[in-house]
Structure 1
Amino acid sequence: MANQKKEDFSVKETKPSIRAKQPLNGPTTSFDLVEEMLYLYVKIEKARLPVLDHSLLQVELKIGNYRGAATAEVKNPQGEFLWYRVFAFTKSRLQDTRVQVLVKDGVNVVGECSFGVSDALRRVPPDPPLSPQWYELVAQKGNAKGELMMAFWTGTQADEVYNSASHSDAAVDLSHEGLLSIRPSVYYTPRLWYLRVNVIGVQDLVLNDINNREQPAQIYVKARVPLCELSTRACSTKTADPKWNEDLMFVVAEPFGETLDVGVFELKKDASLPSEEQKKYGKYEVLLGSCRIPLKNVGKRNDRSPAASLWYDLKVIEGEGMNARFASKINMRISLDGGYHVFDEPTEFSSDLRPSAKILWKPAVGMFELGIMSASGLSPIMPKTSVDAFCVAKYGPKWVRTRTVVDNCSPKWNEQYMWEVYDHCTVITIAVFQNKYLLNWERNLDREIGKVRIRLSNLEFDKVYTNSHPLVSLEPYGVMKRGELQLSYRFCSTSKLNVYHSYTQALWPKLHYVLPLSVAQIHRLRPQAVKLTESRLQKAESPLSPEVVQYVLDDNKHKFSLRRAKANFLRCMKLLERFSLYRQWFDRLRKWTNPLHNAVFIISLIEVTWFPWMALASMFFMLSGIGAWGYWKRPKQLPHIDTELSQVYSVHPDEIAEEFDSFPTSATGNILTIRYHRLQGIILNVQTTLGDIASTGERVQSLLSWRDKKATLLALIFFFFAGMVFYIYPFSVRSLVFWTILYMIRHPMLRIDLPSYFHNFIRRMPSKIDSML
């Protein structure tokens, strides 16, 4: 890897011609973060052809080599063929000055009309839509052949018909799904909830000869919702009333049209098999009873109060019919927990921190506007020599997809979107893909090209950022840049006071702290949330493919990577270097390397010795001074992929290839496989722990780094006023230590269940995880 060419992965500032950075002149639109693109819109509504007696009629538009077509399958009672289609042509790519509109009966042209491109009037919203008019259709011999109702005008991407128009810049033959996939779309994922099923016990199970068995019966409960099935531990019992008191957690989505299926099973041995095979394979389950509970009937709870304990009838299906009879009852607590935030993204890159229950939501603190302008240098996917690219941006429950620019390695989208921001310490993800409908492969997938993440807390208020972000991809043979994505964005706050106040608030909803979920539970529940999101987005009229959802919501933190383990270890070592620097500094003082430093140190030592009450004030003043001095050296660009930090050039090539190894490993030999899996488990824990330690230390270190300018400003204000307080009201160190310890061991009745303000503040500080590949 040492010989691999090192590319530049930094974020570069661009200077596009956008209205947000120019004086206002002329008509204005809401699209001020993207460059204006002119389109020729042609709206075809219907046609009157009284002498034609056919069921199919096609309208076709031609401008040079570009074309658009639509077919009307039926005729209305008034004898009119209906289309109601809008076609869009990029004016900068037009190859002719006139537009031909042909009405065809199969392959025969039954009527046509034309108009000049210069005749299309300019329309700028909020002007009302242009009213369609009747135009005469002329046959090839020159006589009249009916009428066509249409309208044409020149507009921009701010036009309301932009999203529904057929962009016909390239002549491509696509299916109905393919045509929908090249249009821009907006998706909203439903609110996700945690479904908690607390299985308490079963009463009066029907078990044959339960008291005469040598071994106790193995009874367990299995619960199932769409896309997921979980079971309790097996309860060994010789009675008909087994107990569990075990929680099963699921992820469900509104509007709760599904049902929860609960079944009680007994695990039996197959007596027809030999004893040795019984231990391995000779077990099967027998259904003892089941019940179905509609999720819409399940109660919701927003706090830690337990749900009501209810008894449900278990029914048994006899034979092939549905003759259900009463068998027994099962005792469960079932609730929809709305006080949690359902994790469907990596916790480090969450775009939404709100709980499921809408009643617990806080007001929005601002708006985030994103302009997806263009891309450059995109790497084509073989065997094609160009790219059919589209972008997907995800923030909170809102997903957006731009239109697909066909056959272009430097596509221009110039589309603008907006999101409400409820917590600015969140991240938006923008990814670029190759459209699978244009690859013409047997097994097509939307191939990922790269993605960009932007942390909103790194942005200044109301400032317009225009940057070119690299699209970085890690391949088995190393890291490569597959192009650059040009974006413009800004964060506008409705209340700056609420933004600063949020630094003292808990990061997650209150229920995560008073009734926490274990790390293992969150890891098991997150794949459920991702699958549920995939299934819902696939049901849209223009479906978003599962590979797109998986790539946007991808979390590689919990995948084995020796490279990431080394990188996290070096992050920790870099933090520990601070102590070595302090020791070197003290050694220089002893050696009088710099007399000025020694003089300052001696004066400070005398001050602390003779005026001990000045120690804390001096410390806070010093921190304020260091932070203020660091303002001039503050980072000038947003975080980007750091190849040195990610250790992509300093590791052996086989270590990067190991990240793409299959699971289980493709290595040969049983012993090698066992050792390999054991090593993966150990290194994975070390890797995650080191990453968490490094992130915590870097958050503390970033208090005065001006990476998050708003947080650093709050820290400086606190340090300064703390210095003033300790200066005016001096406290002895002994009394301060005493009251601090007394405060830490105070009675639990005097405590709150939420973390301290200091913990909340540090938890919101950025770390170098944003620059990790």
Structure 2
Amino acid sequence: MNPQDDYKIKETKPQLGERWPHGGARGGLWWTGSERITSTYDLVEQMYYLYVRVVKAKDLPTNPVSGSCDPYVEVKLGNYKGKTQRFEKKTNPEWKQVFAFSKEKIQSSVLEVFVRDREMVGRDDYLGRVVFDMNEVPTRVPPDSPLAPQWYRLEDRKGESKLRGEVMVAVWMGTQADEAFPEAWHSDAASVHGEGVFSVRSKVYVSPKLWYLRVNVIEAQDVESEDKSQLPQVFVKAQVGNQILKTKLCPNRTTNPFWNEDLIFVAAEPFEEQLVITVENKIAPSKDELVGRISLPLHVFEKRLDHRPVHTRWFNLERFGFGVLEGDRRKELKFSTRVHIRACLEGGYHVLDESTMYISDQRPTARQLWKQPIGILELGILSANGLLPMKIKDGRGCTDAYCVAKYGQKWVRTRTIVESPSPKWNEQYTWEVYDPCTVITLGVFDNCHLGTPASGPANDTRIGKVRIRLSTLETDRIYTHSYPLLVLQPSGLKKTGELQLAFRFTCLSLAHMVYLYSRPLLPKMHYLQPFTVSQVDSLRYQSMNIVASRLARAEPPLRKEVVEYMLDVDSHMWSMRRSKANFFRIVSLFSNLISMSKWLGEVCQWRNPITTVLVHVLFCILICYPELILPTVFLYMFLIGVWNFRLRTKIPPHMDTKLSWAEAVHPDELDEEFDTFPTSKAQDVVRMRYDRLRSVAGRIQTVAGDVATQGERFQSLLSWRDPRASSIFVGFCLFAAVALYVTPFKIVTLLVGLFLLRHPRFRSKMPSPPSSFFRRLPARADSML
């Protein structure tokens, strides 16, 4: 078999469920105007589980020796055993815990619920049990109400006599749509104990709300150094958490320096850090003197949603042990350095915490500026096949796999399937879509934090990644495909398994979606007050760090290595492989021009006389009637677009190993790509030159990729990768062809010339609709490894 075929997407035909509603928190509810629609679980295979809810017990007997009772419940079904928490000295404990046993693995006809007393020495004391016949267990599927638990009298081992005490239990057969599913103890993870139990459950995470903090440092007054013989030459240093920025050194030595510089930080709600401003005097090239300092909580600053001006404020700096705002305790100060700043929290921007090539959310930070959603993305994470062993446990290779999906601010994490190369999750999630030109990212990882000894890395190991651009999907169509999981390692390209997905993009308003193609890609503030390239890179890096640190504080944590892999934290690092890939992307754009020149050469050489005669006739007609040139060109593009419609791809694009130059890469180039930054090479001179080369080459690589992206967007106009964009362009071509046919060519030329030469007063700072439409077109960057 061709190795390339093993790296391609394969269409699958899973047995998806009916449109049965899901009542849990993961599917939830979403809104379309005034309608309320219930999310369904029809994109996953229906899986049945035996649920056992242990609520509480009462009147349990005490130990005759100790006079107390330390009860817990053991639920046993065949070879599977689950235990509740143990309470000390309680005869009326409350557990409120749910156990889930997969129906596929049930090999017993009875379910036993034991109540035991934990003893310090010897085996645990038996208090009683309740036995359930599996044939008598009822079935419950939402939206049916939860099954009411009942009191059951404890029996002895023979089931003949009733013992003292009762236990409240509910037993039913349900599906993964049950509300109890996410928090239940699963038999698939029966070997996990201790703190590792919390890391096997499926969870939903929300990225922290990020704001830009803009600090405009204007000037300072009454700056005085310890050396009274010379005037100070100062600069201002501002710090928010781990972010430190400095102004330029004031060019003049003066007690009233002036800067008027913007320092921009990223801050996350709730605001835990403070803005620390220090004024420092440059005494020597490597020595600075602290002049004054002040620490300000971030909540005191105004939240700005647009480009309205913000008032400036004077702050007195701490020098004699306390700091005050202007007007407070001024009489107690004999002397105080003041700093004049303008600071605000800006929510009109979109805080870029992702690579701009794979952005999943283009809304501004401030919720007040959000528009209505234009669609719903439903994703069913079905299963994985053929996963390679990622670690060694008990002398054998194993994989404890879970899947993470990220779109917008919502992250989802499936439950961990322990020691299985073919895990089945069958979990479904939904997202509101505000812009179709966005990307959802899925990653598969090996859980290395289950509390069991294993020889392997301490961090969760990446197994593979999948990206899906929503604009390449047809609306209201269910896609069921198996995606190869590809990882580039120092030893070369490796396929680590396959991920089976089912997803559907539902359009709520086609007119609104088409209208979005003419709107700017990012919020308004990005164009009215744009950032520099270096500022964007720095802010994106800081945003990634903040998101990773906040999600790592959740329970269970979404660990830093997972977040960084999902956000492509190293996508802007230079490598020879990526540079080659981008270069050949550019070369491939000129292939059509080369083919056209060859065709013209064949026409000139009369290789096909009929074609040459037709070209001569067309050429003469266009010379005699030049007004037909533009209509003919647009009509020709319209016909090409209609012809290519039947050749459009039916599956969404995926990682292209040939495009990424991942198969023919040299081992030395891989060693260079996986080298640390800064480099870990031995010699200092080589390290300095090598790092400088990589930094410069990284920018060249980005520029080359941007050039390739623009050309590929031109190609996508008629390739139907984005069905809506191609439909808009083909329709425009037909309209333009008709309009230009009935309009004199001289008038068209005059209007176009006047429009291009219009006065700056009539120009807008916002991108034009054609420019916004073009920037929304898909490129092949989504298929890059």
Counterparts of 1:334 and 1:702 in 2: how far apart (Å)?
43
Paired residues of 1:227 and 1:532 also in contact (CA < 8 A)? no
Alignment partners' CA distance in 2, 1:364 and 1:391? 26
Task: Confirm or deny that 1:709 pairs with 2:723.
Answer: yes
1:402 — aligned with what?
A: 414
Name the counterpart of 1:164.
Answer: 183
Distance 1:219 1:123 in 2: 72
State the Cα distance separating 1:143 from its structure 2 match: 4.5
- Structure 1 residue 55 displacement after superposition: 5.3
CA RMSD of superposed structures (Å)? 2.2
Q: Which residue of 2 aligns with 1:38?
A: 48
Hey, what does 1:14 align to over in structure 2? 12
Aligned equivalent of 1:148, options 167, 171, 181: 167
Q: Who is 1:97 aligned against?
A: 109
Q: How far is 1:418 from its partner? A: 0.2
What code does the residue aligned with 1:246 have?
A: E
1:440 aligns with 2:449: no
2:314: which partner in 1? 311
Match of 1:334 among 315, 322, 343: 343
Deviation for aligned residue 1:236: 4.7
- Given that 1:557 and 1:688 are in contact with CA atoms closer than 8 Å, whether structure 2 keeps it comes out as no
What residue number does 1:501 align with? 515
Specify the alignment match of 1:736 in structure 2: 748
Corresponding position of 2:425: 413
Counting matched residue pairs gives 742
Deviations along 1:162-182, one digit per CA (max 9) or x if unpaired, are 111111334324223x21111
SS in 2 for 1:235: coil
What SS does the corresponding residue of 2:582 show, helix, strand or coil?
helix
Residues 617-628 of structure 1: pairs in structure 2 closer than 5 A:
617-628=631-642
SS in 2 for 1:359: helix
Aligned match for 1:374, one of 361, 364, 383: 383
Map 1:285-324 onto structure 2 (within 5 A).
285-318=288-321
CA distance in 1, matches of 2:541, 2:133: 55
Query: In 2, are the aligned partners of 1:265 and 1:287 still within 8 Å (CA)?
Result: yes
The one of 516, 519, 525 aligned to 2:539: 525
CA contact (8 A) 2:378 2:503 kept: yes
1:678 shift after superposition: 3.4
C-alpha deviation, 1:514, in angstroms: 1.4
The residue correspondences of 1:43-54 to structure 2 (distance < 5 A) are 43-52=53-62, 53-54=67-68
Matched, 1:653 2:663: no
Residue 260 (structure 1) aligns with: 275
Deviations 1:240-279 (A, max 9, x none): 211221111111122335422222222434xxxxxxxxx6
Letter paired with 1:571: R
CA distance in 1, matches of 2:663, 2:317: 61
Is residue 2:485 matched to residue 1:476?
A: no
**Pick from 750, 760, 768: which aligns with 1:748?**
760
Q: Which amino acid aligns with 1:135?
A: Y
Distance 1:234 1:56 in 2: 69
Aligned in 2, Cα 1:533/1:705: closer, same or farther, shift over 3 Å?
Answer: same
**1:49 aligned partner, one-letter code:** D
Cα distance in 2 for partners of 1:5, 1:156 equals 39
Offset of residue 75 of structure 1: 6.4
Deviation, 1:29, is 8.2
Give yes or no for the alignment of 1:431 onto 2:434: no
Letter in 2 for 1:138: E
- 1:19 deviates by 3.2
SS in 1 for 2:188: coil
Tell me how far apart the structure 1 counterparts of residues 622 and 569 of structure 2 sit (CA, whole Å).
Answer: 50
| Between 506-515 and 717-726, the greater mean CA deviation after superposition | 506-515
User: What displacement does 1:513 show?
Assistant: 1.1
Aligned 8 A contact 1:9 1:640 in 2:
no
- CA positional deviation for 1:555: 3.9
1:254 to 1:669, Cα distance in 2 relative to 1, 3 A: closer
CA drift at 1:50 = 4.3
1:504-541 Cα offsets, whole Å, 9 max, x none, are 11111111111111111010011211121122212223
Q: Distance in 2 between matches of 1:696 and 1:532?
A: 31
The counterpart of 1:131, out of the listed 126, 137, 148, is: 148
Residue identity matched to 2:132: F
SS in 2 for 1:504: coil
Query: CA shift at 1:637, angstroms?
Result: 2.0
The equivalent residue for 1:587 is: 601
SS in 2 for 1:315: coil
Give, in angstroms, the shift of residue 187 of structure 1. Answer: 1.0
What is the CA–CA distance in structure 2 between the aligned matches of 1:501 and 1:7, rounded to whole Å? 39
SS in 2 for 1:692: helix
- What is the aligned counterpart of 1:82 among 74, 94, 112? 94
Q: For residue 547 of structure 2, give the secondary structure of its aligned residue in structure 1.
A: helix
- Name the CA distance, whole Å, in 1 between partners of 2:310 and 2:640: 53
1:71 match: secondary structure: coil
Distance, in Å, in 2 between the alignment partners of 1:197 and 1:58 is 57
The answer (yes or no) to whether the contact 1:299–1:335 under 8 Å persists in 2 is yes
With over 3 angstroms needed to count, the CA separation of the structure-2 counterparts of 1:583 and 1:169, relative to structure 1, is: closer
How far apart are 1:337 and its partner, in Å?
A: 1.2
Instruction: Report if aligned partners of 2:466, 2:654 keep a CA contact under 8 Å in 1.
Output: no
Q: Deviations over 1:10-31 (max 9, x none)?
A: 1111000113699xxxxx9821
CA distance in 2 between counterparts of 1:49 and 1:286 reads 73
TM-superposed CA distance for 1:131, in Å, is 0.5
Structure 1 position 639 matched with structure 2 position 653: yes
**Counterpart-to-counterpart distance in 1, 2:500 and 2:312:** 56
Question: Is the Cα contact below 8 Å between 2:233 and 2:253 reproduced in 1?
Answer: no
Q: Which amino acid aligns with 2:135?
A: S
1:316 aligns to what SS in structure 2?
coil
2:680 aligned with 1:666, yes or no?
Answer: yes
Which SS does the other structure have where 1:525 is aligned?
A: helix
Q: Tell me how far 1:140 sits from its aligned partner.
A: 4.4
The aligned residue for residue 115 of structure 1 is: 132
Q: Provide the C-alpha distance between the structure 2 equivalents of 1:54 and 1:204, rounded to a whole number of angstroms.
A: 74
* One-letter code aligned to 2:41: F
Deviation of 1:130 after TM superposition, in Å, equals 0.5
Residues 201-233 of structure 1, C-alpha deviations (whole Å, 9 max, x = no match) = 1111232344x23xx534222222223222222
CA-to-partner distance for each residue in 1:628-687, whole Å, 9 max, x for gaps? Answer: 011121112221222221112233221122110122323343443343233323322221
Q: CA deviation at 1:318?
A: 4.1
Task: State how far apart, in whole Å, the 2-side matches of 1:633 and 1:425 are.
Answer: 22
Amino acid at match of 1:120: V
Alpha carbons of structure 1 residues 532 and 64: separation in structure 2 relative to 1, 3 Å: same
Q: When the two structures are superposed, what TM-score results if normalisation uses the length of structure 1?
A: 0.92
Distance 1:312 1:62, change over 3 A: same
Picking from 187, 204, 210, the partner of 1:186 is 204
Aligned partner of 2:548 in structure 1 is 534
Distance 1:490 1:173, change over 3 A: closer
Partners of 1:636 and 1:595 in 2: CA distance: 38
Q: State the distance in 1 between where 2:569 and 2:637 align.
A: 36
- Structure 2: how far apart are the matches of 1:560 and 1:55? 64
d(CA) in 1 for partners of 2:569, 2:469: 16
Who is 2:29 aligned against? none
Q: Is the 8 A contact 1:43 1:86 kept in 2?
A: yes
Q: Which of 213, 224, 230 is the equivalent residue of 2:239?
A: 224
Distance in 1 between the 2:750 and 2:435 partners? 37
The question of whether the paired residues in 2 share the 8 Å contact of 1:340 and 1:355 is answered with: yes
